[in-house]
Structure formats: structure tokens, C-alpha cells
């Protein structure tokens, strides 16, 4: 047995012994405090096993090889482990930002705190600056000892429970759009900060607005040089790709496709099973093929990135493929369950987008074609950077 086979066996044994068998039922309809507590306990269970931050450097508690990370995420998905919803920004976006652009002091202050449960959110998008992030107008005015920040952020995931925020603000209004932005670490307990949850169509309030009214951020919370935030932000956004997409692809292929098969095997109102319909069989075969393609694409992207050979549009291809496949699958699931599925008003909070509550999953799936660059933006990147197509002149019809 190879070392990788032994590692897979150990992860498999751990999953069987540790993953709560009833976590989906227990996490359906719970209050926010119970959800946050469950997420914290699950993160600490992963941390104790060495599975919480495998992509971090070894000195900070990670150090797994790419092959080991692939095995880990495959097994977590296969055993239907809860998603680290609350820690996602913390262990990926915040950690990537700190490791790429943070000072030694910032790393020493926050990386151990993240392992202890410090929750982060990401304050990038604004009402008039979403996919065109460089148009942001939240203003950071230099003052003695730091900056005074005034403005608004929107679609901030998990802000209601966050301790810290990754914040982009315009520190030089006279500079070109991408040259006048600075990157800050914002303490969510700062005076002048107002967090307002946004109630979604699913009944959740995962997204929030943040209003900043003359909020002071000390100079030591500036990441990298002043006005260089755009470049550092690319490291943050890159954290949504690669291994995180491989994990999501594995979960879609296990829990997501498994739930879809289950739905198709249940008798409908007339007693017949959807799966006995040749049209349904054809759709399921097509989804199975697409999932296999997604898994292969993600693994190829991870391997190329690990070797420094990833292309300029690879991440956009993966993100576009996953998000639109997710939308089609959940839409088909909602179609299969019909009216009976529309009476399901809650889903397991720690599940993500593959809970089996098909109508709610379908509504939630639309979120994925917008953040981190909308599908339209991804197609533009693929065309221009990947295929070398000419940029359309401004003003062209």
C-alpha cells in the first residue's frame, strides 16, 4: 500500500468515526447562535486531526501535498462532511491575503486566531462596484496614525458574525482606478460601523450590507503599501479557485448528484418514478458526464497551478463551468420534485448548495454566477486572456 493509500484509509476511518450522522437534520432550522457554535466545533474537530487548513504552510498548521489535499477533499465529500461555511473566508481569503501581503506581525496576530475560530468576512463589492470592482468609491482618508473610512459595502457574506473584514477602499481619488485602492484589515467592532443583514429569497440572511461612517483604521492594519490594494486583492480572489473548486466539485458529484438520484427514484403523485422515464435517464447520464468532466478539469487545474503552468483563464473556466452546472442540476432537481418540493421552507445551514431541498438549492445557486466575477465577466476573461480575442472598443454597439 502506498503512502497516499494509507493516508486515504486514515482519512476514511476518521470520517466514519467523527462526522455526526445526524448533522443535516440537526442543522435544519437552527438559530444563528447554534449554527455558529456547530461550525466552530466542526472546525476544531478538523483542526485536531490536521485537516482544517491543509493548504497553509507547514509552520502555520498545514503543509499537505497537493495529492494529499485532493484525497482529503474527496473523502470529506464522499462521507458527506459538513461544509466549513463560516470559516471559508477566514481560512482561504484572509489567510491568502496575510500570507501574500501581510506583515510578520499581522500574520502572527491573525493566523493563530483564525485557527482558534476568528471569523472573517470580505468587504469588496459596493452598490455601484460589483463585477467592476475597480470602480469602488468607499473612501479612506489618511489621518494621523491611520485612515478614516466612509462608504458602503454590500453582499458581505457572514458579516453579522464576523470579527474582522478584508476591506478595499479608495485612498487616492486622483489616481487611475486600479492604482488608488488600499487594502485594510477592519476590526468589526470599530465605532462607526453598522452591519445590516439582507433577507434573501430563501429566508436566510447570509449576506449583509456594511455602512462605514468615519471609521478609524490604524496604519498597522494596512496590508502592503498604500494604494497597492488592487494587486493584493488578486491573491484574495485567487483563493476562490484551485483546491476550493475541487472540493466543491467533489461535493457536487457526491452529495449533490446523490440527492438528485434519490429524488428521481422516489414515486411521484401518480406512483411512477421519474427515473423510469427515458428522458430523465438521459438527463441524469448527461449530468454524470458533466460532473466527471468538472472533476477532471479541477484536478488538471490544481496540478497545473502546482507546477506553475496554469493559464491566465484557467480559473475562470473552472468557476464558470461549476456555477452553471450547479444551476442546471438544482433546477432539474426542483423540476423533478415538483410542487411538493416547494413546501420545503428550510435546509441544513451547514450544507451549502447541495442539501436536497431542491427549490431552495436552486434559488441559492444563482448566487454562484455572480460573486467572484459574474458569468459574463468570466466569459470576457476567457475570450480575451485565454483565447486572445480582441477587446471590444468602448462605445461599440
Tens of pLDDT, residue by residue over 286-342, are: 999 999 999 999 989 888 887 888 888 888 899 999 999 999 999 999 999 988 777
CB-CB contact of 226 with 211 (8 Å) = no
- In this prediction, residues 213-241 reach a mean pLDDT of 87
Distance CA(223)–CA(140), nearest Å, equals 14
Q: Which three cell numbers stand for residue 173?
A: 481619488
- What pLDDT, on a 0 to 100 scale, did the predictor assign at position 393? 65
Residues 6 or more apart whose Cβ sits within 8 Å of residue 287: 257, 260, 325, 328, 329, 332
CB-CB contact of 212 with 36 (8 Å) = no
Residues in a beta bridge with 166: 122, 185
Q: Over 148-214, what HEC string results?
A: EEEEEECCCCCHHHCCEEEEEEECCCCCCHHHCEEEEEEECCCCCEEEEECCCCCCCCCCEEEEEEE
pLDDT reading at 201 higher than 80: no
**250 classed as catalytic:** no
Tens of pLDDT, residue by residue over 336-394, are: 998 877 777 777 777 776 677 888 889 888 888 877 778 888 899 899 999 999 986 66
Pairing verdict, β 164-170 and 181-187: antiparallel
CB-CB contact of 306 with 241 (8 Å) = no
Residues in a beta bridge with 120: 164
Confidence of residue 194 (pLDDT cuts 50, 70, 90): very high
pLDDT reading at 397 higher than 50: no
CB-CB contact of 113 with 142 (8 Å) = no
Handedness of CA 339, 340, 343, 348 (dihedral sign): negative
For residue 118, count other CB atoms closer than 10 A to its CB. 17
Residues 6 or more apart whose Cβ sits within 8 Å of residue 166: 89, 93, 94, 97, 120, 121, 122, 123, 124, 183, 184, 185, 186, 236
In the chain, beta strands by DSSP E: 120-123, 139-143, 146-153, 164-170, 181-187, 193-197, 208-218, 222-223
Distance CA(90)–CA(115), nearest Å, equals 9
Distance CA(210)–CA(167), nearest Å, equals 11
Which domains, and CATH codes, for the chain?
Answer: 3-85 (no CATH), 119-228 (2.40.110.10), 240-386 (1.20.140.10)
Tens of pLDDT, residue by residue over 141-150, are: 999 999 999 9
Query: What element of type H or E holds 302?
Result: helix 278-306
Residues 6 or more apart whose Cβ sits within 8 Å of residue 220: 103, 105, 106
Q: Which of 240, 247, 250, 354 is catalytic?
A: 240
pLDDT reading at 137 higher than 80: yes
CB-CB contact of 355 with 372 (8 Å) = no
Distance CA(354)–CA(246), nearest Å, equals 15
Distance CA(30)–CA(145), nearest Å, equals 43
Place of cell 472546525: 43
- In this prediction, residues 237-250 reach a mean pLDDT of 76
- What pLDDT, on a 0 to 100 scale, did the predictor assign at position 239? 60
Pairing verdict, β 120-123 and 164-170: parallel
- What pLDDT, on a 0 to 100 scale, did the predictor assign at position 128? 81
Distance CA(141)–CA(158), nearest Å, equals 27
* Residue 358: C-alpha distances to residues 268, 333, 334, 336 (Å): 15, 5, 5, 9
CB-CB contact of 90 with 162 (8 Å) = no
Tens of pLDDT, residue by residue over 42-99, are: 999 999 999 999 999 999 999 999 899 999 999 999 999 999 989 999 999 999 999 9
Amino acid at each position: 500500500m502506498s503512502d497516499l493509500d494509507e493516508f486515504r484509509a486514515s482519512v476514511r476511518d476518521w470520517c466514519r468515526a467523527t462526522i455526526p450522522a445526524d448533522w443535516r437534520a440537526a442543522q435544519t432550522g437552527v438559530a444563528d447562535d447554534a449554527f455558529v457554535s456547530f461550525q466552530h466545533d466542526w472546525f476544531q474537530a478538523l483542526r485536531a486531526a490536521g485537516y482544517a487548513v491543509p493548504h497553509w504552510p507547514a509552520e502555520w498548521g498545514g503543509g499537505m501535498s497537493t495529492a494529499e489535499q485532493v484525497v482529503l477533499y474527496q473523502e470529506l465529500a464522499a462521507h458527506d462532511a459538513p461544509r466549513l461555511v463560516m470559516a471559508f473566508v477566514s481560512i482561504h481569503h484572509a489567510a491568502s491575503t496575510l500570507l501574500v501581503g501581510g506583515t510578520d506581525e499581522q500574520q502572527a496576530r491573525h493566523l493563530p486566531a483564525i485557527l482558534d475560530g476568528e471569523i472573517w468576512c470580505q468587504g469588496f463589492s459596493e452598490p455601484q462596484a460589483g463585477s467592476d470592482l475597480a470602480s469602488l468609491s468607499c473612501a479612506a482618508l489618511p489621518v494621523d496614525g491611520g485612515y478614516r473610512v466612509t462608504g458602503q459595502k454590500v453582499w458581505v457574506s457572514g458579516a453579522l458574525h464576523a470579527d474582522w473584514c478584508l476591506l478595499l477602499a479608495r485612498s487616492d481619488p486622483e489616481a487611475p482606478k486600479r492604482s488608488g485602492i488600499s487594502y485594510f484589515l477592519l476590526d468589526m467592532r470599530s465605532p462607526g460601523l453598522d452591519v445590516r443583514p439582507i433577507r434573501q429569497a430563501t429566508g436566510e440572511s447570509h449576506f449583509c450590507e456594511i455602512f462605514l461612517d468615519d471609521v478609524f483604521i490604524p496604519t498597522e492594519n494596512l496590508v502592503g503599501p498604500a494604494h497597492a490594494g488592487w494587486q493584493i486583492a488578486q491573491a484574495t480572489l485567487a483563493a476562490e479557485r484551485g483546491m476550493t473548486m475541487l472540493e466543491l466539485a467533489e461535493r457536487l458529484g457526491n452529495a449533490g448528484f446523490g440527492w438528485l438520484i434519490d429524488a428521481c427514484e422516489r414515486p411521484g403523485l401518480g406512483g411512477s418514478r421519474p427515473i423510469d422515464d427515458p428522458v430523465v435517464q438521459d438527463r441524469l447520464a448527461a449530468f454524470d458526464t458533466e460532473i466527471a468532466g468538472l472533476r477532471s478539469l479541477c484536478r488538471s487545474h490544481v496540478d497545473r497551478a502546482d507546477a506553475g503552468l496554469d493559464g491566465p483563464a484557467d480559473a475562470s473556466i473552472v468557476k464558470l463551468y461549476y456555477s452553471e452546472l450547479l444551476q442546471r442540476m438544482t433546477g432539474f432537481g426542483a423540476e423533478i420534485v415538483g410542487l411538493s418540493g416547494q413546501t420545503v421552507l428550510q435546509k441544513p445551514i451547514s450544507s451549502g448548495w447541495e442539501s436536497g431541498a431542491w427549490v431552495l438549492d436552486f434559488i441559492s445557486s444563482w448566487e454562484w454566477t455572480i460573486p467572484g466575477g459574474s458569468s459574463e465577466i468570466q466569459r470576457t476573461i476567457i475570450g480575451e486572456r485565454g483565447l486572445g480575442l480582441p477587446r471590444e472598443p468602448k462605445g461599440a454597439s
